[in-house]
Structure 1
């Protein structure tokens, strides 16, 4: 394994509506706890991440931003394991700092499960 990169570059993000729509339309994913993870293979050779945290999750932007930061950090540390897959992570319920480490582990396991479903289809 090479040196850790601490950036989350634009190339690792899903930015366009069409990118999100293509992942949503394929509907390969896994759901557990506060997360729904959808995945779709891409031709880029590296994984990309899109996040959806609605106002229903929490009215306060600071909480929604924390949930997104937490999910981004988990993805960033494990992105090399996924290869060419686009992920959309929908956070369905809020969690605090006490549950953050356990939820990051859960998120990575859901991403692996969704990636296996992409590979088998």
Structure 2
């Protein structure tokens, strides 16, 4: 399959089945309630990029949790919103073991399509790395 994630190097081909099972995005790794989203937004620790903005707040768990905000003003079609959410979930899922115990909200700020998904992934990885600064607050 040309242009797949395996060929681009985003996901390794040699990952064992056990490793892939650890890459799941279970319910415990998600922000689900309005209060959880509000507390992260009110903490006011965020990093911006061209396509996304990442808000972070330390949590008292042993793992990171993530929520996604995609507005209809930014991405008008459901197809575009679903692509954005899949892209963000995949980056979080494959890198969640490197992210400290923080609650993260990823907000899509600018429309993107398949042609620049790799740029968005790189930007999101950089912003997730920068979100470690919020731990000191």
Q: TM-score scaled by structure 1? A: 0.93
Structure 2 residue runs without a partner (length 5+): 1-17
Runs of 4+ with >3 A deviation: none
Query: Which residue is equivalent to 1:119?
Result: 135
Higher relative CO (Cα under 8 Å, sequence separation at least 6) belongs to: 1
Total equivalences in the alignment: 119
Q: Deviations over 1:60-99 (max 9, x none)?
A: 1111011011001001111111121100000011111111
Considering only aligned residues, what root-mean-square deviation do their CA atoms show, in Å?
1.2
Structure 1 residue runs without a partner (length 5+): none
Question: How do 1:1-121 residues align onto structure 2 when only pairs under 5 Å count?
Answer: 3-4=19-20, 5-115=22-132, 117-121=133-137
Greater C-alpha Rg: 2
Deviation of residue 101 (structure 1)? 1.2
Q: TM-score scaled by structure 2? A: 0.82
